[in-house]
Amino acid sequence: MTEKNNSVSTSKAKKYPVEKAEGKSLFPTPYSLLPISAPLISKMQKYSNDGALAFHTPGHKQGLGAHELLKNLITAEGFRQEVSLMEELDDLHSPRTCIKDAEILAAKLWNADEVLFIINGTTCAIQSMILATLKPGDLVFVPRNSHRSVMAGLILSGAIPIFLPVEFSNDLQIPLNISLETLKIAIKKFPTARALILTSPNYYGVAADVQKISKLLHAAGMLLLVDEAHGAHLKFSDELPISATDAGADLAAQSTHKLLGSLTQTSMLMVRKKFVESARRAASLLQSTSPNYLLLASLDAARLQMQQAPEKISQAVQLSKNLRAEINSIDGLKTFDAVKNFELDLTKITVNVENLGMTGIDAEKILRHEFKIQCELSDAANLLFLITYADTCATVAKLVDALKKFATGKKISPALESFISTPSEIIKSEVSPREVFFAENETVALEKSVGKICAEEVTFYPPGIPVLNPGEIITADIIDFIKQQKNIGGRIIGAADTQLNTIKILGGV
């Protein structure tokens, strides 16, 4: 990278919201006024230093019996603090001391009424917020690009989804998000719906207008539940989309580990006050009764790190801007920094490789094995790279160098025209996913499934958005759509028959 790119912005963290969101205080606590402490980690250290002889779980007895291979992965101090449920270490399922203190600090940092620590992944956080707010028979808006954990939450809750179409960019070859107009139509068509489960930002960093969506839903007496797995860092830069809690979401599930500094499998659930009791009850139902304290401690540490150095996210944004400029100067590669009608998380770098005459999947293999560069994901047209607070000018320079060498000598040709479409109708599930899950199913020829209830997910990749979900009626139009997608070479995932000559339907219907 050039010399001018070696400096990064240290702009201030995201400004406090000037408009009061429903149920929120006007101003969150300034970072500088929060105590510089990690209450959970402090208690763990105190217990391990106390010298009590362990006659309790876990079986390795603070590392004394651990295998040498495991000792190579975890430090001796880590083993000493890898204990469980001692009185001074609090109870995740009914926190009153150090876990509660750590959650309170997180709530103040992210401007939530309360935060629940989650050690079973954001899948658990999403399922918890669904169970906390929805009951059997409730109608809920679900965009078609929702994560599979949402369907699992619907199975657990018994709620009935109304599937919303997601905008798709043929120019960028990526799914975008739901539009405000689509939601307005859905609310008018289904005024008794209870909530929207929104994914924002999506995997590619494309964010919906969460603030306007929140106001629209609340005016209709509906809830906003946000899968913000890819947005734990949004709070800390003015150049990123607004965070779900600041935008007025009722609950939001964040993967702290994805773009911040906690360990894999750790997340936080942001909750408004009126749902705290039900959310905690749901999380307790779904989480392990033997939580790993090293995972919990990593959430405490990740929160403290952002509290002390929120400018790290602004630095990552500036690195991302520099990286985009470099990529767009490489023949055959292109990326983008804006999406019409949507906001974009700039730290997500989508690189289109179509002009090199290859797929993103092929490009991923070459970069991984020839250049020792691993992307986050690849699809038919793109590679996705994540720039986080951990990156530096040096790491970004290595990526740029690899991309330049990778593209050198490749045949530059116009990208082949492709026609990718996605379902465009607002469709209510005929029966709840829960009913389908427990019902008998049968396999029939695709042509004979018209009018039947689908018992499996049918998705074409690209664009990775389900055409059919369990509980939807299979129509002649959908079968025509499936044939179209097969003809242009779409890869089928989710269905038992990967050629989709047959399909699973609800038995006895």
Q: What is the 3-state secondary structure (H, E, C) of 395-439?
A: HHHHHHHHHHHHHCCCCCCCCCCCCCCCCCCCEECCCCHHHHHHC
**Are 12 and 311 within 8 A, CB to CB?**
yes
**Are 242 and 233 contacting, i.e. CB atoms less than 8 angstroms apart?**
no
Q: Which of 22-26, 136-140, 254-258, 370-374 has the lowest mean pLDDT?
A: 22-26
Residues paired with 505 in a beta bridge: 442, 454
Is the confidence at residue 20, as pLDDT, over 70? no
pLDDT of residue 2: 37
Average pLDDT over every residue of 377-382 = 88
Alpha carbon distance 126, 142 (integer Å): 13
> What sign for the dihedral angle of Cα 193, 190, 231, 291?
positive
CB count within 10 Å of CB 222 equals 23
Give CATH for domain 311-407. 3.90.1150.10
Indicate the pLDDT class of residue 18, thresholds 50, 70 and 90: very low
Cβ count near 9 (within 10 Å): 14
pLDDT at 277 over 70: yes
**Three-state SS annotation for 222-272:** CEEEEECCCCCCHHHCCCCCCCHHHHCCCEEEECHHHHCCCCCCCEEEEEC
Of the pLDDT bands very low, low, confident and very high (cuts 50, 70, 90), residue 359 is confident
CATH number of 31-308: 3.40.190.10, 3.40.640.10, 2.30.30.230, 3.40.50.2300? 3.40.640.10
Q: Residue 466's pLDDT is what?
A: 86
pLDDT at site 419: 53
Q: Is residue 461 very low, low, confident or very high in pLDDT (cuts 50, 70, 90)? A: confident
* CB distance 199 to 277 below 8 Å: no
H-assigned helices in 287-392? 293-308, 311-327, 360-370
Q: Which pLDDT band, with edges at 50, 70 and 90, does 4 fall under?
A: very low
For residue 1, the model assigns a pLDDT of 39
- Selected from 3.90.100.10, 3.60.21.10, 3.30.310.160, 3.90.1150.10, the CATH number assigned to the domain covering 429-506 reads 3.90.100.10
pLDDT of 412 strictly over 90: no
Output the six-digit token pair for 426: 């607002």
Q: Rounded distance, CA 173 to CA 382, Å?
A: 8
pLDDT at 128 over 50: yes
Q: Is the pLDDT of residue 371 over 50?
A: yes
Q: What is the predicted pLDDT for the residue at 21?
A: 41
pLDDT, one tens digit per residue, over 204-219 is 999 999 999 999 999 9
CB of 28 closer than 8 Å to CB of 34:
no
Q: Could you give the percent of the chain with pLDDT greater than 90? A: 73
- The rounded distance, in Å, linking the Cα atoms of 99 and 96 is 7
Confidence of residue 141 (pLDDT cuts 50, 70, 90): very high
pLDDT for res 17:
39
**pLDDT confidence band for 268 (50 / 70 / 90):** very high
Q: Report the pLDDT value the prediction gives residue 16, as an integer from 0 to 100.
A: 38
Q: What is the pLDDT of residue 57?
A: 83
Max Cα–Cα distance, the chain, nearest Å = 70
Region 151-163: mean pLDDT is: 96
Which amino acid is it at 2? T
The full set of domain ranges for the chain reads 31-308, 311-407, 429-506
pLDDT score recorded for residue 11: 38
pLDDT for 474: 94
Where is average pLDDT lowest: 104-118, 363-377, 483-497? 483-497
Query: What is the structure's pLDDT at 15?
Result: 41
What is the average pLDDT score of the chain? 90
pLDDT band at 409 (very low <50, low <70, confident <90, very high): confident
- Residue 261, class by beta-carbon neighbours within 10 Å (0-12 exposed, 13-18 middle, 19+ buried)? buried
Instruction: Extract the tokens encoding 453.
Output: 């209830």
Smallest CA-to-CA distance from 427 within 215, 166, 228, 250 is with 166
Mean pLDDT for the stretch of residues 319-328: 97
The CA distance from 71 to 90, in Å, is 26
Query: Given pLDDT bands bounded at 50, 70 and 90, which one contains residue 333?
Result: very high
Lowest mean pLDDT among 13-27, 41-55, 300-314, 396-410: 13-27
* Structure confidence at residue 463 (pLDDT): 67
Beta bridge pairs of residue 268? 117, 254
**Nearest alpha-carbon partner for 454 in 470, 478, 465, 467:** 470
Q: How far apart are CA 428 and CA 271, in angstroms?
A: 28
- pLDDT for the residue 28: 58
CA 483, 484, 489, 491 torsion-angle sign:
negative
Note whether 249 and 210 are within 8 A (CB): yes
What is the average per-residue pLDDT within 417-421?
A: 58
HSE (CB half, 13 Å, CA atoms) of 294? 14
Q: Residue 127: left (phi > 0), alpha (psi -120 to 50), or beta?
A: alpha
Instruction: Provide the token pair at 468.
Output: 């059919």
Q: 28-37, 475-484, 494-503: lowest mean pLDDT where? A: 28-37
End-to-end Cα distance, the chain: 62
